[in-house]
Structure 1
Amino acid sequence: MRRRAIFTVLAAATALGGFTAPAAHADETVGDIQITNVDVNGGKDIVVDAVDKTITVSVTATDPSGVWDADFYLWRGPDGTDPYSTADGYIAPNEDTTPADCIASSATTSTCSKTFTFEPDSWLANADAGTWKVGVQVFANDDSRAERWAATTTRLQRHSKLTVNASPEPIAKGTTLTITGKLTRANWDTLDYRGYTNQPVELQYRRAGTTTYTTVKTVHTSSTGDLTTTATASEDGYWRWNFAGTSTTPAVKATGDFVDVQ
Protein backbone atom coordinates (compact mmCIF):
# COMPACT_ATOMS: atom_id res chain seq x y z
CA MET A 1 0.00 0.00 0.00
CA ARG A 2 1.04 3.58 -0.61
CA ARG A 3 2.18 5.60 2.33
CA ARG A 4 1.59 9.30 2.70
CA ALA A 5 4.60 11.51 2.17
CA ILE A 6 4.84 13.77 5.23
CA PHE A 7 7.86 16.04 5.45
CA THR A 8 9.28 18.67 7.72
CA VAL A 9 12.06 19.05 5.16
CA LEU A 10 11.82 17.98 1.51
CA ALA A 11 14.83 15.70 1.23
CA ALA A 12 14.70 15.01 -2.49
CA ALA A 13 12.63 16.22 -5.43
CA THR A 14 12.21 12.62 -6.56
CA ALA A 15 9.97 12.00 -3.56
CA LEU A 16 7.31 13.97 -5.39
CA GLY A 17 7.56 12.27 -8.76
CA GLY A 18 7.47 14.96 -11.44
CA PHE A 19 8.10 17.86 -9.07
CA THR A 20 11.10 20.11 -9.25
CA ALA A 21 11.34 22.00 -5.99
CA PRO A 22 11.53 25.73 -6.59
CA ALA A 23 13.48 28.27 -4.65
CA ALA A 24 11.95 29.47 -1.40
CA HIS A 25 9.26 31.76 -2.71
CA ALA A 26 5.54 31.45 -3.27
CA ASP A 27 3.52 31.40 -6.50
CA GLU A 28 5.61 31.34 -9.66
CA THR A 29 4.82 31.74 -13.36
CA VAL A 30 7.37 31.42 -16.14
CA GLY A 31 6.16 32.18 -19.67
CA ASP A 32 2.58 32.56 -20.91
CA ILE A 33 1.00 29.59 -19.16
CA GLN A 34 -2.21 30.26 -17.20
CA ILE A 35 -4.08 28.14 -14.65
CA THR A 36 -7.82 28.59 -15.18
CA ASN A 37 -9.35 25.99 -12.84
CA VAL A 38 -8.40 23.55 -10.08
CA ASP A 39 -10.86 20.84 -9.04
CA VAL A 40 -10.62 18.51 -6.03
CA ASN A 41 -13.01 15.54 -5.82
CA GLY A 42 -15.57 17.22 -8.04
CA GLY A 43 -15.80 20.19 -5.68
CA LYS A 44 -16.92 18.03 -2.75
CA ASP A 45 -15.28 17.51 0.62
CA ILE A 46 -13.17 14.35 0.89
CA VAL A 47 -15.23 12.18 3.22
CA VAL A 48 -13.50 8.94 4.21
CA ASP A 49 -15.13 5.94 5.88
CA ALA A 50 -13.10 3.32 7.74
CA VAL A 51 -11.92 1.95 4.38
CA ASP A 52 -9.72 3.36 1.59
CA LYS A 53 -11.03 6.14 -0.63
CA THR A 54 -9.54 7.43 -3.91
CA ILE A 55 -10.28 10.90 -5.28
CA THR A 56 -9.13 12.86 -8.34
CA VAL A 57 -7.47 16.27 -8.42
CA SER A 58 -7.32 18.10 -11.75
CA VAL A 59 -6.10 21.39 -13.18
CA THR A 60 -7.09 23.14 -16.39
CA ALA A 61 -4.39 25.32 -17.91
CA THR A 62 -3.65 27.07 -21.18
CA ASP A 63 -0.48 28.03 -23.03
CA PRO A 64 0.17 28.97 -26.69
CA SER A 65 2.42 25.92 -27.05
CA GLY A 66 0.02 23.52 -25.35
CA VAL A 67 0.06 21.94 -21.87
CA TRP A 68 1.63 18.51 -21.37
CA ASP A 69 2.03 17.82 -17.62
CA ALA A 70 0.90 18.73 -14.12
CA ASP A 71 1.52 17.67 -10.55
CA PHE A 72 -0.25 18.17 -7.25
CA TYR A 73 0.27 18.00 -3.50
CA LEU A 74 -1.93 18.46 -0.44
CA TRP A 75 -0.35 20.16 2.54
CA ARG A 76 -1.17 22.16 5.62
CA GLY A 77 0.45 24.75 7.82
CA PRO A 78 -0.16 28.33 8.97
CA ASP A 79 -0.15 31.24 6.53
CA GLY A 80 3.35 31.98 5.34
CA THR A 81 4.45 28.37 5.70
CA ASP A 82 6.71 26.97 2.98
CA PRO A 83 5.15 23.66 1.85
CA TYR A 84 8.56 22.34 0.82
CA SER A 85 10.34 22.85 4.10
CA THR A 86 8.07 23.67 7.04
CA ALA A 87 4.65 22.18 6.26
CA ASP A 88 2.88 20.41 9.13
CA GLY A 89 1.70 17.65 6.77
CA TYR A 90 2.19 16.66 3.15
CA ILE A 91 0.25 14.21 0.97
CA ALA A 92 1.61 13.08 -2.41
CA PRO A 93 -0.49 11.71 -5.31
CA ASN A 94 -0.64 8.04 -6.26
CA GLU A 95 1.05 8.60 -9.61
CA ASP A 96 4.82 8.94 -9.25
CA THR A 97 5.32 9.14 -13.01
CA THR A 98 5.21 12.00 -15.48
CA PRO A 99 3.34 13.15 -17.47
CA ALA A 100 0.00 13.27 -15.69
CA ASP A 101 -3.21 12.15 -17.39
CA CYS A 102 -3.77 15.20 -19.59
CA ILE A 103 -6.73 15.61 -21.96
CA ALA A 104 -6.53 18.41 -24.50
CA SER A 105 -9.69 20.41 -25.25
CA SER A 106 -7.83 22.49 -27.84
CA ALA A 107 -4.30 23.03 -29.15
CA THR A 108 -3.61 25.37 -26.24
CA THR A 109 -5.71 24.05 -23.33
CA SER A 110 -5.60 20.78 -21.39
CA THR A 111 -7.03 19.36 -18.19
CA CYS A 112 -4.53 17.21 -16.28
CA SER A 113 -5.42 14.84 -13.42
CA LYS A 114 -3.87 12.64 -10.76
CA THR A 115 -5.40 10.57 -7.97
CA PHE A 116 -4.93 10.47 -4.21
CA THR A 117 -5.83 7.45 -2.07
CA PHE A 118 -6.60 7.92 1.62
CA GLU A 119 -5.89 4.72 3.59
CA PRO A 120 -7.12 4.45 7.18
CA ASP A 121 -5.59 0.97 7.46
CA SER A 122 -2.16 2.26 6.45
CA TRP A 123 -1.43 5.89 7.29
CA LEU A 124 -4.56 8.02 7.70
CA ALA A 125 -5.10 9.12 11.33
CA ASN A 126 -7.87 11.04 13.09
CA ALA A 127 -5.53 14.01 13.48
CA ASP A 128 -5.40 14.35 9.68
CA ALA A 129 -9.04 15.48 9.47
CA GLY A 130 -9.51 19.15 8.65
CA THR A 131 -8.61 21.67 5.97
CA TRP A 132 -5.73 21.07 3.54
CA LYS A 133 -4.21 23.43 0.99
CA VAL A 134 -3.85 22.18 -2.60
CA GLY A 135 -0.60 22.92 -4.40
CA VAL A 136 -0.43 22.68 -8.20
CA GLN A 137 2.32 22.73 -10.81
CA VAL A 138 1.67 22.81 -14.58
CA PHE A 139 4.10 22.57 -17.49
CA ALA A 140 3.82 23.67 -21.14
CA ASN A 141 5.51 22.27 -24.25
CA ASP A 142 7.74 25.36 -24.55
CA ASP A 143 9.01 24.97 -20.95
CA SER A 144 6.63 27.57 -19.57
CA ARG A 145 5.50 26.57 -16.09
CA ALA A 146 3.41 27.77 -13.19
CA GLU A 147 3.02 26.81 -9.55
CA ARG A 148 0.40 27.80 -7.00
CA TRP A 149 1.18 26.81 -3.42
CA ALA A 150 -2.46 27.17 -2.38
CA ALA A 151 -4.49 27.09 -5.57
CA THR A 152 -7.50 26.06 -3.50
CA THR A 153 -8.34 24.23 -0.27
CA THR A 154 -10.20 21.02 0.51
CA ARG A 155 -11.62 19.47 3.66
CA LEU A 156 -10.67 15.92 4.67
CA GLN A 157 -13.51 14.60 6.85
CA ARG A 158 -14.43 11.56 8.93
CA HIS A 159 -17.66 9.98 7.65
CA SER A 160 -20.61 10.38 10.03
CA LYS A 161 -23.73 8.36 10.89
CA LEU A 162 -26.85 9.37 12.80
CA THR A 163 -29.71 7.18 14.06
CA VAL A 164 -33.12 7.95 15.59
CA ASN A 165 -35.81 6.07 17.46
CA ALA A 166 -39.06 7.58 18.75
CA SER A 167 -41.08 5.49 21.21
CA PRO A 168 -43.49 4.19 22.29
CA GLU A 169 -45.31 3.48 19.03
CA PRO A 170 -48.26 3.88 18.77
CA ILE A 171 -48.73 6.51 21.44
CA ALA A 172 -51.73 8.27 22.95
CA LYS A 173 -52.21 11.93 22.04
CA GLY A 174 -50.88 14.35 24.65
CA THR A 175 -48.53 11.87 26.30
CA THR A 176 -44.74 11.94 26.41
CA LEU A 177 -42.69 10.59 23.53
CA THR A 178 -39.03 9.66 24.06
CA ILE A 179 -36.65 10.28 21.16
CA THR A 180 -33.18 8.69 21.22
CA GLY A 181 -30.35 8.35 18.75
CA LYS A 182 -26.61 8.20 18.32
CA LEU A 183 -24.07 10.30 16.39
CA THR A 184 -20.96 8.42 15.36
CA ARG A 185 -18.08 9.05 12.97
CA ALA A 186 -15.32 7.02 11.38
CA ASN A 187 -12.35 6.47 13.65
CA TRP A 188 -9.30 6.15 11.42
CA ASP A 189 -7.13 5.12 14.36
CA THR A 190 -9.25 2.07 15.21
CA LEU A 191 -10.96 1.39 11.83
CA ASP A 192 -14.47 1.52 13.24
CA TYR A 193 -17.07 4.08 14.32
CA ARG A 194 -17.06 5.88 17.67
CA GLY A 195 -19.47 8.33 19.28
CA TYR A 196 -18.98 12.03 18.55
CA THR A 197 -18.93 13.73 21.94
CA ASN A 198 -20.63 16.97 23.06
CA GLN A 199 -22.02 17.97 19.66
CA PRO A 200 -25.21 20.04 19.18
CA VAL A 201 -27.84 18.08 17.25
CA GLU A 202 -31.29 19.39 16.32
CA LEU A 203 -34.43 17.39 17.02
CA GLN A 204 -36.80 17.97 14.10
CA TYR A 205 -40.44 17.10 13.45
CA ARG A 206 -42.51 16.77 10.26
CA ARG A 207 -46.27 16.42 10.46
CA ALA A 208 -47.70 13.55 8.36
CA GLY A 209 -48.79 14.76 4.93
CA THR A 210 -46.26 17.63 4.84
CA THR A 211 -42.72 17.83 3.45
CA THR A 212 -40.93 20.29 5.74
CA TYR A 213 -39.17 19.54 9.01
CA THR A 214 -39.25 22.06 11.88
CA THR A 215 -36.59 22.23 14.57
CA VAL A 216 -38.07 21.52 18.01
CA LYS A 217 -34.97 21.80 20.21
CA THR A 218 -31.20 21.28 20.26
CA VAL A 219 -29.64 18.48 22.29
CA HIS A 220 -25.93 17.78 22.87
CA THR A 221 -24.50 14.29 22.47
CA SER A 222 -23.21 12.44 25.51
CA SER A 223 -19.65 11.19 26.05
CA THR A 224 -20.57 8.18 23.89
CA GLY A 225 -22.39 10.13 21.17
CA ASP A 226 -25.86 9.21 22.46
CA LEU A 227 -28.88 11.50 22.24
CA THR A 228 -32.06 11.43 24.28
CA THR A 229 -34.92 13.83 24.91
CA THR A 230 -38.70 13.94 25.23
CA ALA A 231 -41.55 15.68 23.42
CA THR A 232 -45.32 15.72 23.62
CA ALA A 233 -47.10 13.58 21.03
CA SER A 234 -49.78 15.70 19.34
CA GLU A 235 -50.41 14.16 15.91
CA ASP A 236 -49.03 11.63 13.44
CA GLY A 237 -45.63 12.60 12.13
CA TYR A 238 -41.93 11.93 11.65
CA TRP A 239 -39.09 12.63 14.08
CA ARG A 240 -35.43 12.89 13.19
CA TRP A 241 -32.07 14.21 14.36
CA ASN A 242 -30.12 16.72 12.24
CA PHE A 243 -26.38 17.34 12.70
CA ALA A 244 -24.96 20.44 10.98
CA GLY A 245 -21.40 19.07 10.75
CA THR A 246 -17.98 20.47 11.66
CA SER A 247 -14.75 21.11 9.76
CA THR A 248 -13.68 17.51 10.42
CA THR A 249 -17.05 15.75 10.15
CA PRO A 250 -19.79 16.12 7.51
CA ALA A 251 -23.39 17.05 8.18
CA VAL A 252 -25.82 14.15 8.47
CA LYS A 253 -29.57 13.68 8.95
CA ALA A 254 -31.26 10.60 10.38
CA THR A 255 -34.08 9.04 8.39
CA GLY A 256 -37.36 10.21 9.92
CA ASP A 257 -39.05 7.78 12.33
CA PHE A 258 -42.87 7.76 11.94
CA VAL A 259 -44.98 7.82 15.09
CA ASP A 260 -48.68 6.92 15.04
CA VAL A 261 -50.53 9.15 17.50
CA GLN A 262 -53.92 7.81 18.61
Structure 2
Amino acid sequence: MDLAIGASGLDQRNRAGSAPVGLTVVPSTRVSSAAGTVDRLEWSADDGRTWTELPLTGSGAAAAASLTVPATAAYVSLRISARNDEGGALRRTVLRAIAGPAVPGDESAGGTTISNVKVNGGKGLSIGTSGEVQITATFTAGDPSGIARAGLYLWHGNFNAPDGIEFAATECVPVNPTTSTCTATVYLWDVRFSLASNALAGSWRAAAWATAKDGIGFTDRHGAGSVALKRATRLTANATPEPVKKGKTVTVTGAFTRADWSAGSFKPYASQPVTLAWSKINTSAWGTVKGFKSDSAGNLKTTATAGSDGSYRFSFASDSVSAVSNSPADYVDVQ
Protein backbone atom coordinates (compact mmCIF):
# COMPACT_ATOMS: atom_id res chain seq x y z
CA MET A 1 0.00 0.00 0.00
CA ASP A 2 0.91 3.61 -0.36
CA LEU A 3 -0.48 7.00 0.68
CA ALA A 4 -0.69 10.41 -0.94
CA ILE A 5 -0.95 13.26 1.55
CA GLY A 6 -1.99 16.79 0.65
CA ALA A 7 -2.21 20.00 2.67
CA SER A 8 -3.83 23.36 1.93
CA GLY A 9 -3.74 26.65 3.82
CA LEU A 10 0.07 26.83 4.09
CA ASP A 11 2.34 29.67 3.06
CA GLN A 12 5.19 29.36 0.55
CA ARG A 13 7.41 27.90 3.27
CA ASN A 14 4.85 25.16 4.09
CA ARG A 15 4.08 26.98 7.33
CA ALA A 16 0.66 27.03 8.98
CA GLY A 17 -0.87 30.25 10.24
CA SER A 18 -3.94 30.94 12.35
CA ALA A 19 -6.35 29.54 9.76
CA PRO A 20 -7.16 25.79 9.73
CA VAL A 21 -5.02 23.55 7.54
CA GLY A 22 -6.89 21.21 5.22
CA LEU A 23 -5.43 17.68 5.08
CA THR A 24 -6.30 15.04 2.48
CA VAL A 25 -5.18 11.41 2.39
CA VAL A 26 -5.56 9.09 -0.60
CA PRO A 27 -4.63 5.40 -0.06
CA SER A 28 -3.63 3.19 -2.96
CA THR A 29 -2.49 -0.38 -3.55
CA ARG A 30 0.28 -1.07 -6.02
CA VAL A 31 -0.48 -3.40 -8.93
CA SER A 32 -4.01 -3.93 -7.64
CA SER A 33 -7.45 -2.35 -7.78
CA ALA A 34 -8.10 -3.01 -4.09
CA ALA A 35 -10.26 -0.41 -2.36
CA GLY A 36 -8.45 1.47 0.37
CA THR A 37 -9.73 2.98 3.60
CA VAL A 38 -8.10 5.52 5.89
CA ASP A 39 -8.75 4.45 9.47
CA ARG A 40 -6.90 7.10 11.48
CA LEU A 41 -5.17 10.41 10.98
CA GLU A 42 -3.19 11.69 13.96
CA TRP A 43 -1.02 14.73 14.55
CA SER A 44 1.75 15.63 16.96
CA ALA A 45 3.43 18.91 17.88
CA ASP A 46 6.24 17.28 19.89
CA ASP A 47 7.96 15.15 17.22
CA GLY A 48 5.83 12.10 17.91
CA ARG A 49 6.05 11.86 21.67
CA THR A 50 2.28 12.32 21.93
CA TRP A 51 -0.44 11.97 19.29
CA THR A 52 -3.97 13.36 18.87
CA GLU A 53 -6.51 11.82 16.50
CA LEU A 54 -8.30 14.03 13.99
CA PRO A 55 -11.90 13.36 12.94
CA LEU A 56 -12.08 12.24 9.30
CA THR A 57 -14.70 13.02 6.70
CA GLY A 58 -15.17 10.48 3.94
CA SER A 59 -12.82 7.62 3.16
CA GLY A 60 -10.85 6.21 0.30
CA ALA A 61 -10.06 8.96 -2.17
CA ALA A 62 -12.12 11.44 -0.15
CA ALA A 63 -10.54 11.11 3.30
CA ALA A 64 -10.03 14.62 4.71
CA ALA A 65 -9.54 16.44 7.99
CA SER A 66 -9.07 19.96 9.30
CA LEU A 67 -6.34 20.96 11.75
CA THR A 68 -5.92 24.27 13.55
CA VAL A 69 -2.23 24.27 14.41
CA PRO A 70 -1.51 25.69 17.89
CA ALA A 71 0.35 28.99 17.93
CA THR A 72 2.98 27.35 20.14
CA ALA A 73 3.80 24.60 17.61
CA ALA A 74 6.98 24.94 15.54
CA TYR A 75 6.35 21.73 13.60
CA VAL A 76 3.51 19.26 13.07
CA SER A 77 4.06 15.54 12.46
CA LEU A 78 1.42 13.29 10.91
CA ARG A 79 0.63 9.59 11.38
CA ILE A 80 -1.83 7.79 9.09
CA SER A 81 -3.25 4.28 9.41
CA ALA A 82 -4.89 2.73 6.35
CA ARG A 83 -5.96 -0.69 5.02
CA ASN A 84 -7.42 -2.24 1.87
CA ASP A 85 -10.00 -4.93 1.18
CA GLU A 86 -7.32 -7.45 0.29
CA GLY A 87 -5.90 -7.56 3.82
CA GLY A 88 -3.14 -5.01 3.28
CA ALA A 89 -2.38 -2.46 6.00
CA LEU A 90 -0.08 0.51 6.39
CA ARG A 91 0.82 3.00 9.11
CA ARG A 92 3.00 5.88 7.94
CA THR A 93 4.61 8.54 10.12
CA VAL A 94 5.82 11.79 8.60
CA LEU A 95 7.88 13.71 11.14
CA ARG A 96 7.72 17.49 10.76
CA ALA A 97 5.37 17.24 7.81
CA ILE A 98 4.51 20.94 8.03
CA ALA A 99 5.83 23.93 9.94
CA GLY A 100 3.81 25.67 12.64
CA PRO A 101 3.47 29.36 13.54
CA ALA A 102 6.03 29.28 16.39
CA VAL A 103 9.70 30.06 15.84
CA PRO A 104 11.65 26.82 16.31
CA GLY A 105 14.27 26.81 19.02
CA ASP A 106 17.85 25.62 18.83
CA GLU A 107 18.22 21.86 18.50
CA SER A 108 20.91 19.35 19.35
CA ALA A 109 21.54 15.66 19.88
CA GLY A 110 24.48 13.87 21.39
CA GLY A 111 27.51 15.89 22.44
CA THR A 112 27.87 18.17 19.41
CA THR A 113 28.63 21.80 20.25
CA ILE A 114 29.27 25.10 18.52
CA SER A 115 31.10 27.90 20.32
CA ASN A 116 33.23 31.02 19.84
CA VAL A 117 31.13 32.32 16.96
CA LYS A 118 32.52 35.63 15.75
CA VAL A 119 31.33 37.46 12.64
CA ASN A 120 33.66 40.02 11.04
CA GLY A 121 35.85 39.93 14.12
CA GLY A 122 32.97 41.19 16.24
CA LYS A 123 32.79 44.48 14.33
CA GLY A 124 29.97 45.95 12.26
CA LEU A 125 30.29 46.84 8.59
CA SER A 126 29.77 50.16 6.85
CA ILE A 127 28.30 49.42 3.41
CA GLY A 128 27.82 51.85 0.57
CA THR A 129 25.70 51.64 -2.56
CA SER A 130 27.77 49.44 -4.88
CA GLY A 131 30.57 46.94 -5.03
CA GLU A 132 31.45 43.63 -3.39
CA VAL A 133 31.41 42.90 0.34
CA GLN A 134 33.07 39.88 1.94
CA ILE A 135 32.08 38.86 5.46
CA THR A 136 34.11 36.25 7.34
CA ALA A 137 32.86 34.34 10.37
CA THR A 138 34.76 31.89 12.56
CA PHE A 139 33.53 29.31 15.05
CA THR A 140 34.55 26.14 16.87
CA ALA A 141 32.65 22.86 16.44
CA GLY A 142 33.17 19.81 18.62
CA ASP A 143 31.88 16.30 19.24
CA PRO A 144 33.40 13.26 20.97
CA SER A 145 33.41 11.44 17.61
CA GLY A 146 34.69 14.43 15.62
CA ILE A 147 32.96 16.83 13.24
CA ALA A 148 31.73 15.60 9.85
CA ARG A 149 30.26 18.84 8.47
CA ALA A 150 29.38 22.34 9.60
CA GLY A 151 27.97 25.51 8.11
CA LEU A 152 26.75 29.03 8.75
CA TYR A 153 24.42 31.57 7.20
CA LEU A 154 23.28 35.10 8.00
CA TRP A 155 19.62 36.03 8.29
CA HIS A 156 17.68 39.24 8.91
CA GLY A 157 14.18 39.85 10.24
CA ASN A 158 12.10 37.01 11.66
CA PHE A 159 13.62 33.53 11.60
CA ASN A 160 10.34 32.03 10.39
CA ALA A 161 10.03 34.56 7.56
CA PRO A 162 13.36 36.36 7.07
CA ASP A 163 13.55 39.24 4.62
CA GLY A 164 17.21 38.51 3.97
CA ILE A 165 19.37 35.34 3.91
CA GLU A 166 23.02 35.08 2.87
CA PHE A 167 24.68 31.65 2.84
CA ALA A 168 28.37 31.13 3.54
CA ALA A 169 30.99 28.84 2.07
CA THR A 170 32.32 27.01 5.14
CA GLU A 171 35.55 25.10 5.64
CA CYS A 172 36.42 23.26 8.86
CA VAL A 173 39.89 22.11 9.86
CA PRO A 174 40.36 19.53 12.67
CA VAL A 175 42.66 20.69 15.47
CA ASN A 176 42.35 17.36 17.31
CA PRO A 177 40.15 14.24 17.00
CA THR A 178 37.13 15.94 18.63
CA THR A 179 37.37 19.62 17.67
CA SER A 180 37.44 21.62 14.44
CA THR A 181 37.88 25.31 13.75
CA CYS A 182 35.60 26.56 11.00
CA THR A 183 35.79 29.58 8.72
CA ALA A 184 32.68 30.70 6.86
CA THR A 185 32.75 33.35 4.13
CA VAL A 186 29.71 35.25 2.88
CA TYR A 187 30.14 36.94 -0.48
CA LEU A 188 27.86 39.83 -1.42
CA TRP A 189 28.89 40.10 -5.05
CA ASP A 190 27.04 43.38 -5.56
CA VAL A 191 25.27 45.18 -2.73
CA ARG A 192 22.87 46.74 -5.26
CA PHE A 193 21.21 43.33 -5.45
CA SER A 194 22.08 41.69 -2.13
CA LEU A 195 21.10 44.75 -0.07
CA ALA A 196 18.53 46.44 -2.29
CA SER A 197 16.35 47.70 0.57
CA ASN A 198 17.03 50.08 3.45
CA ALA A 199 14.96 47.73 5.63
CA LEU A 200 17.91 45.30 5.57
CA ALA A 201 20.13 47.66 7.57
CA GLY A 202 20.86 46.77 11.19
CA SER A 203 21.54 43.56 13.06
CA TRP A 204 21.85 40.29 11.13
CA ARG A 205 21.94 37.00 13.04
CA ALA A 206 24.29 34.12 12.31
CA ALA A 207 22.83 30.61 12.32
CA ALA A 208 25.41 27.82 12.66
CA TRP A 209 25.09 24.03 12.54
CA ALA A 210 27.33 20.99 12.78
CA THR A 211 26.97 17.21 12.44
CA ALA A 212 29.09 14.53 14.11
CA LYS A 213 31.08 11.75 12.49
CA ASP A 214 29.08 9.12 14.40
CA GLY A 215 25.98 10.05 12.39
CA ILE A 216 24.01 10.74 15.58
CA GLY A 217 25.22 13.98 17.09
CA PHE A 218 24.24 17.36 15.65
CA THR A 219 23.52 20.91 16.73
CA ASP A 220 21.64 23.74 15.05
CA ARG A 221 21.88 27.20 16.64
CA HIS A 222 19.72 29.86 15.02
CA GLY A 223 21.21 32.84 16.84
CA ALA A 224 24.79 31.75 17.37
CA GLY A 225 26.20 35.18 16.55
CA SER A 226 25.38 38.53 15.00
CA VAL A 227 26.80 41.33 12.90
CA ALA A 228 25.59 44.84 12.14
CA LEU A 229 25.33 45.74 8.45
CA LYS A 230 24.97 49.52 8.44
CA ARG A 231 24.35 52.14 5.80
CA ALA A 232 27.55 54.10 5.16
CA THR A 233 27.58 57.81 6.05
CA ARG A 234 29.67 60.68 4.71
CA LEU A 235 30.59 64.04 6.22
CA THR A 236 32.36 67.05 4.76
CA ALA A 237 33.81 70.05 6.64
CA ASN A 238 35.06 73.45 5.55
CA ALA A 239 36.35 75.92 8.18
CA THR A 240 36.58 79.63 7.33
CA PRO A 241 38.17 82.12 7.34
CA GLU A 242 41.69 80.87 6.79
CA PRO A 243 43.77 82.30 8.38
CA VAL A 244 41.83 83.76 11.31
CA LYS A 245 42.78 86.03 14.17
CA LYS A 246 42.86 84.61 17.68
CA GLY A 247 39.57 85.14 19.49
CA LYS A 248 37.59 85.58 16.30
CA THR A 249 34.82 83.31 15.05
CA VAL A 250 35.50 80.26 12.89
CA THR A 251 32.51 79.08 10.85
CA VAL A 252 32.47 75.38 9.89
CA THR A 253 30.09 74.19 7.20
CA GLY A 254 29.55 70.86 5.51
CA ALA A 255 27.10 68.20 4.41
CA PHE A 256 25.86 64.94 5.91
CA THR A 257 24.74 62.15 3.58
CA ARG A 258 23.91 58.48 4.02
CA ALA A 259 23.78 55.50 1.67
CA ASP A 260 20.27 54.87 0.40
CA TRP A 261 20.34 51.18 -0.48
CA SER A 262 16.89 51.32 -2.04
CA ALA A 263 17.87 54.13 -4.44
CA GLY A 264 21.51 53.15 -4.93
CA SER A 265 22.88 56.60 -4.05
CA PHE A 266 23.85 58.80 -1.10
CA LYS A 267 21.15 61.15 0.13
CA PRO A 268 21.00 63.89 2.80
CA TYR A 269 20.73 62.63 6.38
CA ALA A 270 18.51 65.24 7.98
CA SER A 271 18.06 66.27 11.62
CA GLN A 272 20.79 64.00 12.95
CA PRO A 273 23.21 64.63 15.86
CA VAL A 274 26.71 65.63 14.76
CA THR A 275 29.76 66.70 16.77
CA LEU A 276 32.24 69.43 15.87
CA ALA A 277 35.71 68.38 17.05
CA TRP A 278 39.09 70.16 17.11
CA SER A 279 42.67 68.89 17.21
CA LYS A 280 45.67 71.05 18.06
CA ILE A 281 48.47 71.18 15.53
CA ASN A 282 51.07 68.38 15.85
CA THR A 283 48.77 66.25 18.04
CA SER A 284 46.49 63.30 17.28
CA ALA A 285 43.89 63.82 20.01
CA TRP A 286 40.47 65.24 19.16
CA GLY A 287 38.32 67.16 21.60
CA THR A 288 34.62 67.95 21.33
CA VAL A 289 33.80 71.60 20.64
CA LYS A 290 30.02 71.30 20.50
CA GLY A 291 27.17 69.12 19.36
CA PHE A 292 24.31 70.09 17.05
CA LYS A 293 22.05 68.61 14.37
CA SER A 294 22.06 68.61 10.60
CA ASP A 295 19.28 70.66 9.05
CA SER A 296 16.34 69.36 7.02
CA ALA A 297 18.54 69.10 3.91
CA GLY A 298 21.48 67.43 5.67
CA ASN A 299 23.52 70.65 5.73
CA LEU A 300 25.92 71.38 8.59
CA LYS A 301 26.82 74.79 9.98
CA THR A 302 28.20 75.85 13.35
CA THR A 303 30.82 78.16 14.85
CA ALA A 304 33.79 78.06 17.22
CA THR A 305 36.18 80.60 18.73
CA ALA A 306 39.70 80.52 17.31
CA GLY A 307 42.26 79.76 20.01
CA SER A 308 45.34 78.30 18.36
CA ASP A 309 46.44 76.51 15.20
CA GLY A 310 44.58 73.28 14.62
CA SER A 311 42.08 71.30 12.57
CA TYR A 312 38.30 70.97 12.66
CA ARG A 313 36.17 68.02 11.65
CA PHE A 314 32.60 66.76 11.98
CA SER A 315 31.86 63.37 13.54
CA PHE A 316 28.82 61.09 13.63
CA ALA A 317 28.73 58.43 16.34
CA SER A 318 26.46 55.98 14.43
CA ASP A 319 22.98 54.66 15.18
CA SER A 320 21.37 51.24 14.90
CA VAL A 321 21.31 51.30 11.07
CA SER A 322 23.87 53.98 10.15
CA ALA A 323 27.65 53.68 10.35
CA VAL A 324 30.06 55.93 12.24
CA SER A 325 31.96 58.48 10.18
CA ASN A 326 34.32 61.45 10.41
CA SER A 327 34.82 64.16 7.85
CA PRO A 328 38.27 64.96 6.50
CA ALA A 329 40.02 67.46 8.79
CA ASP A 330 40.28 71.12 7.75
CA TYR A 331 43.28 73.01 9.15
CA VAL A 332 42.97 76.64 10.29
CA ASP A 333 45.96 78.90 10.89
CA VAL A 334 45.31 81.17 13.89
CA GLN A 335 47.31 84.42 13.95
TM-score bracket, shorter-length normalisation: 0.7 to 0.9
1:25 aligns with 2:104: yes
Residue 183 of structure 2 corresponds to residue 113 of structure 1: yes
8 Å CA contact 1:73–1:90 kept in 2: the answer is no
Q: State the number of aligned residues.
A: 237
Structure 1 position 246 matched with structure 2 position 326? no
Unaligned runs of 5+ in 2: 1-10, 16-95
Q: Is the 8 A contact 2:153 2:168 kept in 1?
A: no
Distance change in 2, residues 1:116/1:9 (3 Å): farther
Q: Does 1:133 align with 2:205?
A: yes
1:1-262 matches, within 5 Å, as 9-10=12-13, 25-50=104-129, 51-77=131-157, 83=159, 86-95=160-169, 100-118=170-188, 119-124=190-195, 125-143=197-215, 144-262=217-335
Shift of the 117–185 alpha-carbon distance from structure 1 to 2, 3 Å rule, reads farther
Paired with 2:330 and 2:307, the residues of 1 have a C-alpha distance of 15
Return the index of the structure with the highest Cα Rg.
2
Going from structure 1 to structure 2, the CA distance change for 1:94 and 1:109 (only over 3 Å counts) comes to: closer
Deviation of 1:140 (Å): 1.4
SS across alignment from 2:247 = coil
| Distance in 1 (alpha carbons) for counterparts of 2:314 and 2:264 | 25
Q: Secondary structure at the match of 2:243?
A: coil
CA distance in 1, matches of 2:119, 2:288: 33
Cα distance change, pair 210–41 in 1 and its aligned pair in 2 (3 A): closer
Deviation at 1:138, TM superposition (A): 0.9
Change (3 A) 1:120 1:166: same
Question: Given that residues 229 and 321 in structure 2 are in contact (C-alpha distance below 8 angstroms), is that contact kept between their aligned partners in structure 1?
Answer: yes
CA distance in 1, matches of 2:162, 2:240: 48
Alpha carbons 2:152, 2:168 under 8 Å: kept? no
RMSD of equivalent CA atoms = 2.3
Q: Cα gap change, 1:10/1:57 in structure 2, threshold over 3 Å: closer, same or farther? A: farther
How does the TM-score come out when normalised to structure 1?
0.81
The 4+ residue runs of structure 1 with deviation greater than 6 A are: 21-24
CA contact under 8 A between 2:164 and 2:200: conserved in structure 1? no
User: Structure 1: which 5+ residue stretches go unaligned?
Assistant: 1-7, 13-20
| TM superposition shift of 1:11 | 5.3
Deviation at 1:9, TM superposition (A): 5.0
The residue matched to 2:210 in structure 1 has which SS? Answer: strand
SS of 1:223's partner is coil
| Paired residue type of 1:138 | A
Instruction: Give the alignment's TM-score, normalised by structure 2.
Output: 0.65
- 1:185-235: per-residue Cα shift (whole Å, max 9, x none)? 222222222222211011111222443222111121123322111122222
The structural deviation recorded for 1:146 is 0.2
* SS across alignment from 2:121: helix
